[in-house]
Structure 1
Amino acid sequence: MTEGMMGIIGIIGLLTLLGLRMPVGMSLLVVGFFGIWALDDFKAATAALASETFSATSSYSMSVIPLFILMGNIAGQAGYSQRLYESAHAWVGHLRGGLASATILGCASFAAVSGSSVATAVTIGKVALPEMKRYGYSDGLATDSVAAGGTLGILIPPSTGFVLYAILTEESIGKLFMAGIIPGLLLTLLFIAVIYVTTLINPQGRSGAKTTSSEKLTALWRATPLLSVIFISIGGIYFGVFTPEEAAGVGAFLILLMALFSRKIGLRDLAPILLNTVRTTAMLYLIIIGASVFGPFLTLTHIPATLGESLGLLGLGMYGTLLVIVLGYIVLGMFFDGLAMLVITLPIVFPIITGMGFDPIWFGVIAVIVVEMGLITPPVGINVFVVKGIATDVPMATIFKGVLPFWFAMAACLLILTVFPELALFLPNRMQ
């Protein structure tokens, strides 16, 4: 049996295991281990398992993951998301579709501490959905704004998607974080535009009371503690004051001090927060370990090189090849978790992208946005299921139907970034 055929069997086996709901990390580990065994020998497979596991988990850059997860968990438990939402409501709540727009802004703000789309959707959704229902927003627009806004959690730094991309491709975490800022703000504005047009075509929801300048500033001041931590940690990376690892530690420490001294959380709350952090971290570490074993297996099969040569022979050019890759991601996003999709595809796609001359930092942003699209695409659409768990009385079909305009807003963002790649590269190229 040829190496290529073994690779195809391995990929089919991986997809089968994922379809049977085996954890992503374990599926990658099993296929990678047995694939190396089949192509080489048992000694090589055990050596790869031991060495790759140690090198992956002992990497200093991996410390970013638990620290940023801890920061987001503390901020969520302390109720800082409520202040972010109230501040956004005070500034835009009186506009057409203002409450839904405030939800998007709240998601964008909380994304800057959570790094997770699911955490962002859950945290902001619990605050925003009851308010939008009280103000007469349709179930569709209310739930869709939370589901779409939650996807910003893996684009606006700190982002677990960028951390995983950096580890798999050996790119700079700091540069990827900076690359996500302007596209994240652009996508936030596109989401707000979708809400404005939707409410213009189908008027719904009462506008909030118009606030005075003093009330706006007061609401913003109440959100200042969390916003200051965001600016310190992310700004510190940009100006070269902190490494991403140090920024994660500083951010988690400052959030913890603020939450304890303001009595938003007590010492007894720390145990569940830490336990939740450990669980999420362990899940991500297992994915990275599995990817570290699966990657060498794919290399042995020569599938990445063969696929790259095949695409080159098609004569599609740079952007034709990019379109094929993006469409492939969109199809996969209909069935697989976003992080799993990155892990499976990057060993194959990344050499093709760099060989075509695309900037790897720019493509990291493109890949994460496509993963975002998968978070609201049926039939999987994890964020839609998360929102359904909060709004139990809203039919799943209603959420999926209403989220379509936000999906097209993401597609528009991809197109803009393809035409103007400097939007993603401006900040990374100017880092200290």
Structure 2
Amino acid sequence: MTNLEIGWTGVGVLFALLAMRMSIGAALMIVSFVGITVMLNLQAALGIVSAMPFNLIGDWSLTAIPMFLFMGFVAANTGLTAGAFDLLRVLLSRVPGGLASASVGACGLFAAASGSSIATTAAMARIAVPEMLRAKYHPSLATGVVAASGTLGSLIPPSILMVLYGIFTEQSIGQLFVAGLIPGVLSAFVYMAMITTRSALQPDLAPPVRRRVDRAELGRLVLSVWPFPVLVLGVLGGIFGGFFTPTEAGAVGAFLALCVALLRGSLTLDALKTAIRQTTLATSSIFFLSIGAVMFTRYMGLSGVPGYLADAMLAVSDNQIVIILMIAMLFIVLGMVIDSIGLILLTLPVLLPVLEAADVNLIWFGIICIKLLEIGLVTPPVGLNLYVLHSALSGEVKLRDIISGTSWFIAMDIVTLLLLIAFPAISLFLPSLMQ
């Protein structure tokens, strides 16, 4: 067999192992190790296995991942999200579907303070969904809006997926962060526009909730959201101001989250222990996947599959938009059965040569890629946010209602995705100012 044939065989075996529900990281490692052994020899494969994990985990840039995760879990476990939702539901009380739109805004704010879609969804599920259900909102809207808006944690900086993408594509994480700002706000605006329109046309979907507050209470609500500007300005302001790198920003953000929680009196020992445990588990999972992805990258490089695929796709068309649309269809299909982190680490080794051959701006594609991964987070059967939300609600709302509710938001995500593809300036305007 030629190296190309060995490469394609490995890809087939990989998907067979994933269909058997094997861990993505383990499947990547096994296929890569066997494939390299067949193409080269056992000694070469053992050398790669012994060197790559240390070289990867020793990369200073990866320290941003556990720090941003810890920041998010501290914020989630110490209740830093409640104030934003309370303020927004008052400000939007006269708007049709105001509680749902407030949930979108609160998710976006919390995403900016955590960088984690899972942390955002879990936190807002306990705050926003019960409030909407008490207001007689339809369960599908009440749950669908949180499941979908929780994905904003992937696009609004800081973002764990952006950190991984930047490391594996050797792109500036700072530029990726700033590139996600406008698309993140655009996604939230499109969600809110859809909610307002549907609620105005179907009042029984989201009955009006009128809430009057005096100036004293409004002032109290405004003051309750002070943790968000502190965290966001502390992290993003420091990066864009050049005070520290995106990698160092993770540690700064974690420290600020601890300080804010301590000042608010919500940093209990149990909350701290829970945040540390969640961070450890999530970091271990991501690093395990990353090791498999690095091995798979080496395997694909030796096989020649990425180069072959690049030539095949360019033979169809060398138009950047056509190539990105083909990749988008691939991501949407794979996103139904593979989680977001696994998908980005699985596909980048194969697709990166295609993008480079077509001279695609990798910052622009990074934002498109993250948006595609957001869609995967709410697309059954493996949409992770669906199950996080269902679990956080202890089964109070049926999973089929949650899935039904997200369908409208997936349609809005497609609209936003097409805008990002058609108008690259949406993603590239702010990074161009940094340059």
TM-score, normalised to structure 1, is 0.96
Distance 2:22 2:434 in 1: 41
Higher mean C-alpha deviation, range 360-369 or range 225-234: 225-234
Q: Which residue of 1 aligns with 2:46?
A: 46
Identity within the alignment, %: 36
1:229-270 alpha-carbon deviations (Å, 9 max, x no partner): 111111111121220122111111111122123320234542
The correspondence of residues 66-77 of structure 1 with structure 2, limited to 5 A, is: 66-77=66-77
State the 1:130 CA deviation: 0.7
Q: Which residue of 2 aligns with 1:109?
A: 109
Q: Which residue of 2 aligns with 1:402?
A: 405
State the 1:51 CA deviation: 2.1
1:186-243 alpha-carbon deviations (Å, 9 max, x no partner): 0000111111122122112232414456644431221112321111111111121220
Alignment coverage as a number of residue pairs:
432
Measured on the aligned residues, the alpha-carbon RMSD in Å equals 1.6
Distance 1:217 1:191 in 2: 28
Say whether residues 1:335 and 2:340 are aligned partners: no
Q: Which ranges of structure 2 fall in alignment gaps of 5 or more residues?
A: none
Say whether residues 1:249 and 2:251 are aligned partners: yes
Q: Which residue of 1 aligns with 2:2?
A: 2
Contact 1:67 1:252 in 2 (8 A): yes
Q: Which residue of 2 aligns with 1:276?
A: 278
Contact 2:74 2:271 in 1 (8 A): no
Q: Which residue of 1 aligns with 2:169?
A: 169
SS at match of 1:426: helix
Q: Which residue of 1 aligns with 2:303?
A: 301
Residues 295 and 210 from structure 1, CA distance in 2 versus in 1: closer, same or farther, beyond 3 angstroms? Answer: same
State the 1:45 CA deviation: 0.9
Matched to 1:7, the amino acid is G
Q: Which residue of 2 aligns with 1:428?
A: 431
Distance 1:220 1:24 in 2: 44
Contact 1:74 1:256 in 2 (8 A): yes
Q: Which residue of 2 aligns with 1:25?
A: 25
Higher mean C-alpha deviation, range 360-369 or range 417-426: 417-426
Distance 1:344 1:307 in 2: 15
Contact 1:95 1:207 in 2 (8 A): no
Contact 2:78 2:271 in 1 (8 A): no
State the 1:2 CA deviation: 1.9
Q: Which residue of 2 aligns with 1:137?
A: 137
Contact 1:90 1:215 in 2 (8 A): no
Say whether residues 1:411 and 2:414 are aligned partners: yes
State the 1:153 CA deviation: 1.2
Q: Which ranges of structure 1 fall in alignment gaps of 5 or more residues?
A: none
Q: Which residue of 2 aligns with 1:364?
A: 366
Q: Which residue of 1 aligns with 2:200?
A: 200
Matched to 2:324, the amino acid is L
TM-score, normalised to structure 2, is 0.95
The correspondence of residues 194-273 of structure 1 with structure 2, limited to 5 A, is: 194-203=194-203, 204-211=206-213, 215-273=217-275
Matched to 2:424, the amino acid is P
The correspondence of residues 171-190 of structure 1 with structure 2, limited to 5 A, is: 171-190=171-190
Residues 393 and 79 from structure 1, CA distance in 2 versus in 1: closer, same or farther, beyond 3 angstroms? Answer: closer
Contact 1:93 1:101 in 2 (8 A): no
Contact 1:132 1:205 in 2 (8 A): no
Distance 2:271 2:200 in 1: 44
Matched to 1:164, the amino acid is L
